[in-house]
Chain A
Amino acid sequence: MAHSKKLKNRSDMVKAILVLLPSVVLVAVFVYGFIFNTIYVSLTDWGQGAGLAEHPVKHWVGLGNYRQLFSGFIYGRFRQDLVNTFFYSVILLVGTLFLGFLLAVLLDRKIRHEGFYRTIFLYPMALSFIVTGTIWRWLLAPNGGLNLLPTFLGLKKGEFLWISSRKAILTFNWQHLLSILFFIAALVFLMLLLRAVRNRIHRKMVIHSALFSSSLLLCAISRWLLPPLLPFEEIHGFNLATLGILLAAIWQYSGYTMALYLAGLRGLPESIRESSRMDGAGEFTYYWKIAIPNIKPITLSAVIILSHISLKMFDLIYAMAGADNANTGHPSVNMYLTTFRANQFAMGAAIAVILFIMAALFVIPYLMHSHKQRREG
């Protein structure tokens, strides 16, 4: 009896392996194989000379392409793209979470025709970025759309160049990127240190003070001792032309965030709300002190889902601002142009690898988190 059960187990396992094998092989080749091939290509010089020949000559150049991207004379556009990506991510996240939560709170108050509003708010999610982009390009045209709004109140026509402004704010010099990064790290550790001091956790006090002082030291070293990252000044910052694109992206995804939050808010038992009322908490206190801390997991998954969206804004930017508007640039657009327009395949691959690493920075913490949860659960 036991014997046959074991046999059955084994044949089950064989079946399982046979069923899984094709997809494992396909994923191995078409996902991981290609990832490694792209990494390999990014370390060669494919694209110089006869890049499109039947058997192109490729030479190993190590990290040469990456060095070019971060400190080469003619790759300033890529560096601006990186800065843009940072602002795209941060503002998209903050804007969407805030707006989504606000909409969810409004709907949570059991208003009439809630289903109708829910559909309206969720609807943009069903559109593709190309459609969103085309609609918003019209809305944000310099001589139409949003700029006409003030005229309805009898004011002068707006002149803001939503997607074609050339102004930048919050500028910094790329030469000093390293020292700026270390300085920000030092600030973060200082805050952690202060918190540890307040909570009197001795171990953390030691760790954070060590981290704080070492990052401050690194900041000083990279500022005054090491040669600057670039031999010339290069100013990057938050381009106001990205505002229009962010507006469209936030419009598209706040409804989705609203749905996530609404589900979370509805999931809280009614008794909590009632007891908080009994204790004299107003609506604001209820959401701020009770609801938000309780739906933290929802915020986390929303952050994960939204943060990688900022990495695939290719079509939105392409539709709204066009490929050549460097002010709204994004590494993905740059990768496409470098690879398929300039035929610099290795350089394009290097940009792709950097994008891949950025995506990994968002996804891996999430995977680790959910893995930990599963083990604990």
Chain B
Amino acid sequence: MKKSIGLLIVLSLMVSAGLFAGGQEEEKAPASPMDVEQVVLTDKAPSGDLELFSWWAGDEAPALEALIKVYESKYPNVNVINATVTGGSGVNAKAVLKTRMLGGDPPETFQVHAGQELIGTWVAANRMLDLTPLFEEEGWMDVFPKDLINLIGTDKGIWSVPVNIHRSNVLWYIPDNLKKWGVEAPKTWDDFFTVAETLKSKGVVPLAVAQTWTVNHLWESVALGVLGADDYDALWNGEISWTDPRVVKVWETFGKILSYTNTDAASLSWQQATDMVVIGDAAFNVMGDWAAGYLSTTLNIEPGSGYGWAPSPDTSGVFIFLADSFGCPKGTNNPDATLSWLKVCGSKEGSDTFNPLKGSISARTDSDLSLYNVYSQSAAKDFAKDRIVGSLAHGVVANEGFMNDFSTVMEMFLTSRNAQQAANACQAIAIQNGIGK
């Protein structure tokens, strides 16, 4: 009994100490000063181990294995360890990577979504090497589009080598079904609303969505459509506030679009949402172009005739991109092997081996288009000429903290459908996560 009283006293002291100390919380932790270190280029032939950390398993594994084969034929002395942690979009892999990096055991190189997901996490933590010398030596400054280099770099350097490019703002449909229902793929959201009414009267779900991340994915297309490319970029640079009427309008439009979607979204995977379009339960689906891989390879539908695509409404001429990329963490055991891997990733041979298998396009503007299918060819053409902006749902324009909190805001919005409240919450999480200071 006495003991427990003692314990209580100690506990209450601790609690009250915590309460009174709460006053000092105003001071924010400053990021530690960046001393940028660049990669050191050598001509040494690499040897030893190369531990390659990724979440490419299952459907995506053959592409990675092909890329590793290219690497092994060029650098036979290196022993490649393929450390894959399965789990869609890297949920599990990222957690494992974090514990390894914090524990001082970084892999030689790791897969990461290019852009803020890398910059806001690992570059901010000062754990990556600047790859500018490599980009200059390999001549990549000229073969990668300028918009792309801006989005994967900061004023301090370039942080990763993109191996592929996916497009996010694509509207998918089945041409035969649309003909049957007597509608056409909408060019603008206003078009969509008229088309949607027709579809609804025929008992068809106008737009199929799935679990929360696909809704976030839809949101970025809507935001780009409503804001336009300039304002969309300005939003991420912090030049436009989230409570700006233009951004509130994004949420309003988005809410209206959601009223034309399926109610069972939260229990569907993105493939199931695409399936709804294929079997004719739904008319359209906004999804990244991995859907093209799913439609052509898994479901064996002919691109162009069997399934059709268009830029999502109001976004023609703009290409929301996301990319998988590899970077060079500080303090690895074998930086030479890392650099040679990065060279293969960025090379024409490497990316033209990898991408046709992965169902994505090359980040290089000089890739051999004959290797790709009809859809990828059209995407590559757009990538070469369109304005390029970054994806939110896939980590290009916002850091991990913002992305996580945005999912929470989205859940809130899906229940409340309150545009102003969602805009206010976004402003709060943007400040908390240091977006656009």
Contact = CB atoms under 8 A, between A and B. Distances in A.
Interface of A: 43, 45-64, 67, 73-74, 76-77, 137, 140-143, 161, 163-164, 166, 241, 321-327, 336-338, 340-344
Given A322-B212, A323-B91, A343-B401, A52 B18 contact: no
Interface string B91-107: 10011001001100000
Contacts of B429: 74
Nearest to B88: A322
Nearest to B426: A74
Contact of B98 (A58, A63, A340): A340
A51 B121 CA distance: 8
Contact of A325 (B21, B25, B266): B266
Nearest to B330: A54
Given A323-B91, A324-B411, A341 B400 contact: yes
B122 A52 contact: yes
Of residues B20, B24, B101, which shows the largest number of chain A Cβ atoms within 10 Å of its Cβ? Answer: B24
30 contacts: A43-B18, A43-B21, A45-B28, A49-B31, A50-B124, A50-B125, A52-B98, A52-B102, A53-B126, A54-B127, A56-B29, A61-B24, A62-B18, A62-B20, A62-B21, A62-B24, A74-B409, A74-B429, A77-B408, A143-B264, A161-B263, A161-B266, A163-B267, A166-B415, A325-B411, A326-B415, A327-B411, A337-B404, A340-B94, A343-B121
Contacts of A343: 98, 121, 400-401
Contacts of A321: 266-267
A140 B415 CA distance: 21
Given A62-B18, A74-B428, A321-B266, A344 B401 contact: yes
B58 interface: no
A50 B400 contact: no
B400 A64 contact: no
Of residues B24, B98, B125, B408, which shows the largest number of chain A Cβ atoms within 10 Å of its Cβ? Answer: B408
Nearest first, the 10 A-B pairs at minimum CB distance are: A62-B22, A164-B266, A342-B404, A326-B411, A324-B212, A142-B264, A52-B125, A340-B95, A61-B25, A164-B267
Contacts of A50: 29, 31-32, 124-126
Of residues B28, B29, B263, which shows the largest number of chain A Cβ atoms within 10 Å of its Cβ? Answer: B29
Contacts of A73: 424-425, 428
Interface string B3-19: 00000000000010111
A340 B212 CA distance: 18
A74 B405 contact: yes
Interface in B42-76: none
A53 B91 contact: no
A45 B94 contact: no
Contacts of A52: 98, 101-102, 121-122, 124-125, 127
B426 to A, nearest CB: 9
B228 interface: no
A58 B29 contact: yes
Contacts of B400: 341-343
A61 B390 CA distance: 35
B237 interface: no
A140 B264 CA distance: 11
Nearest to A55: B32
A223 B127 CA distance: 51
